Structure 1
Amino acid sequence: MVQLLKVHGSENQFFIFDQTQLDQQLTDEELSKLGIKLCDPKNNILNGADGVLVVNNATDNALAQMRVINADGSEAKMCGNGLRTVSRYLSEKFNETDFKIQTIGADLEVKKSADLADGVPAFSVQIKPISFAAKDLPFSYKNMAEMINEKVPEFLPDQTFTSIAVPNPHLISFLDKINEKELGELGKYLNSPNEYFPEGVNVSFAEILGKNKLFVQTYERGVGFTNACGTGMSATSLAFAMLHPNDFDETEDISVYNPGGMVKTHVTLGNTKEEANIHLIGNATFTDTLDISEADFHKLDFDKFDIKSTGEEAKYQAFVNDFVK
C-alpha cells in the first residue's frame, strides 16, 4: 500500500509522495506523468494540486532529498512552501527538529518553529543559493548582466522590475496596487516562448503595506496563478530589503501576506547581494491522507483509493480568519 499526503503551505497545494516506501521506484518520465495526473483537478483527486513533492533517500549527508514536480509535469529546482511541508513530514518520520534537506540547488537547513496557532504547525526553511546574474535565471534584455529596479517597457510601461534566482527564477515588481489582469497577462507571456526568459520565470507583483509588511501575488512557472509561492515571497522580501530600506528593519521578521494566508520571512543583508541570508517561516498543514495499492499506483489508476481527512484545514482557516484578516 502507498500513502500520499495532501498538504499545503499558505494554501499552495501539494501531494507528498515518499518514494522510499515503494518496492519499485518511479522513473523521471513516470514522475512527470504522476504530477500531471494528480494535479489536474479534472481527475477529481482531492481537487488537484500545484505540484507533487517527491521524497527520496539523500545522496549526501542530508536527512532526505526533495524533488518538485509541477502540475504540468516539469521539474522545479526548489519550492519554499513545499519544503516546509516536507520538513514536517521528515521531522515526524525521523523524530528530528533541526536538519538538512537535499534539493537540486543546495542542501537547505530546516527546523521546527513555534506553532502559528493551535493546531497550525510551522517550520522555518533556508532559501538559497541566491543569484542576480542573467545567466543563472536565465534572461536576456539589452545585454544587461543583471536586472535590478529597471524599467522594461516591453513588459509594462510604468513599472520597474528586479530579477532574482533563489534558485528558481523570479521577476518582481513593486506597485501601489496590484493589477491581477496585468500580472496574469505578463506571467502567461513570459512562460510562453519569448525572447526575454527562454526557460520561463515566476512573476510576482508586491504591495508594501507598512514597515516590514508586504502583500505578494505570484504567477508561477509551470502552474499559473497560485495562492502563494514560497521562493517568490522570499525573493520579493530580498528585493524589498534592498530597494526599500526605509520600510525594512533587518532585526525583525517580514510579514508577507498572500492570497492563501500569511508567512514570515527573515532577511539579513550581506556584504554582497548574493551573500544575503533568507529564511521562510510558515505553516505546514496536512489536510488528507490517500491510500492506494502499489500496483494501481504504478498504473496511475486512481479509481480505487481511500481518503481520510486530518481535520487540520479547519484550524488553519481559523488562524487565517483570526490572525491574518
Structure 2
Amino acid sequence: MRAPFTKMHGLGNDFVVFDARHAPLAMTAQLAAALANRHTGIGCDQLIVLVPSSNADLGMRIFNADGGEVESCGNASRAVGLLLGHAARIETLGGIVSAEPAGGGVAVDMGKPRFEWQDIPLAYAMDTLRMPVGWEDLDSPSAVNVGNPHVVFFVSDADAVDLARLGPQIEHDPLFPERVNVNVATITGPAAIRLRVWERGAGLTRACGTGACATTVAAIRLGLVAREVSVTLPGGALNIAWPMAGSIRMTGPAAESFRGTVDLAAYGATK
C-alpha cells in the first residue's frame, strides 16, 4: 500500500501532498496525524489530499498536524498552485479559491472576508472589530473569517508576546466553538506588518497565509495600513491586497522540497 507524495512548503509552512484525484485515498484524522509526526512520520504542519471536484478544477482536503480537518490554508493553496503549474480553481471546505503563477511565485484569490460573529464563529454575539475580551496583556482583538477563523491582536512588539503559552489558551477558549487561529501583529509602516501566528491544530508556524490575510484585513478595517501591504512572518514575506469590498489577493513564494512514497499501512491505513 505504498502511496506517492510531494513534500512542499510556503515560507517554511510545510505540507505533505497526496494526489487522490485518480486513485482514491481514505484519509483519516489518525492517519494524517501519524504521517505529520516529525519524529516517526514524514513530518509537516498540514497534510493535503487533492481530490476530484464537481464545482472547481479540483478539490483540496486539509488536515492539520493534530489530524483535524480544516477549511482553508493559504500557503497550501500556493503550494498546490505551484504543483499544478497553471491557473486553477480549487475547492476547499472554506470555499473556492483561485491560484495562478505570478511574479516567480503564486497568487491566490482567497475570496471575501466575513465579519459577522456567527460567521467567525463565536459562541455569542459581539463586535468583531474590537472584541471586548482579553487574555492577560492581549486584549481587544479583531475577528475575521477568511475561510477559517482568526483573531488578530495588534501589539507594540509581536516578538515579545509569549505566543507558545497564550496561543493554545486562546485557541481552545469556549468563546470559539470551532477553535481559532491566533495572530499577534505589529504595524511597522503604512504598508508593512510584522506577524506571528499560533495556528489552530498546528501550533507556532513559520508562516500562515490565511493569518496574513486576516491580519491585513483587520488592519485595513482599523485604518492602520493601506489596502496593499507586505506581511513579514518568521519564514519570509507575503504581499496581501484587499481592494474596497473585494476579494483578498495573496502573492508569495512556494517550493517543492522532495518526492517520495510511503507505506500507508505502516501508519494505520486499512485499505
Higher helix share: 1
Work out the CA distance in 1 between the residues paired with 2:51 and 2:119. 26
Retained in 1: the 8 A contact 2:112–2:248?
no
The count of residues paired between Structure 1 and Structure 2 equals 268
Q: CA RMSD in A?
A: 2.0
Retained in 2: the 8 A contact 1:105–1:128?
no
Work out the CA distance in 2 between the residues paired with 1:149 and 1:212. 21
Is 1:191 the counterpart of 2:171 in the alignment?
yes
Work out the CA distance in 2 between the residues paired with 1:255 and 1:82. 19
Is 1:150 the counterpart of 2:147 in the alignment?
no
Amino acid at match of 1:87: G
Secondary structure of the corresponding residue to residue 205 of structure 1: strand
Work out the CA distance in 1 between the residues paired with 2:260 and 2:138. 47
Amino acid at match of 2:82: R
Retained in 2: the 8 A contact 1:159–1:175?
no
Amino acid at match of 1:57: P
Map of 1:204 onto structure 2: 183
1:75 paired residue among 56, 64, 69? 69
Greater RCO, 1 or 2 (C-alpha within 8 Å, sep 6+) = 2
Work out the CA distance in 2 between the residues paired with 1:157 and 1:225. 19
Secondary structure of the corresponding residue to residue 228 of structure 1: coil
Retained in 1: the 8 A contact 2:89–2:99?
yes
Higher strand share: 2
Is 1:133 the counterpart of 2:116 in the alignment?
yes
Q: Which runs of 5+ in 1 are unaligned?
A: 92-96, 116-121, 271-275, 303-325
Q: Give the TM-score of the pair, scaled to structure 2.
A: 0.91
Do the aligned partners of residues 34 and 44 (structure 1) sit closer, same or farther apart at CA in structure 2, a change above 3 Å counting? closer
Retained in 2: the 8 A contact 1:152–1:159?
yes
Map of 1:306 onto structure 2: none
Retained in 1: the 8 A contact 2:58–2:91?
yes
Is 1:300 the counterpart of 2:267 in the alignment?
yes
Larger radius of gyration: 1
Q: Give the TM-score of the pair, scaled to structure 1.
A: 0.77
Map of 2:207 onto structure 1: 228
Amino acid at match of 1:39: A
Name the % identity: 29
Is 1:59 the counterpart of 2:40 in the alignment?
no
State the shift of 1:151 in Å.
4.2
Amino acid at match of 1:12: N
Map of 2:39 onto structure 1: 42
Q: Which runs of 5+ in 2 are unaligned?
A: none
Map of 1:313 onto structure 2: none
2:237 paired residue among 248, 253, 262? 262
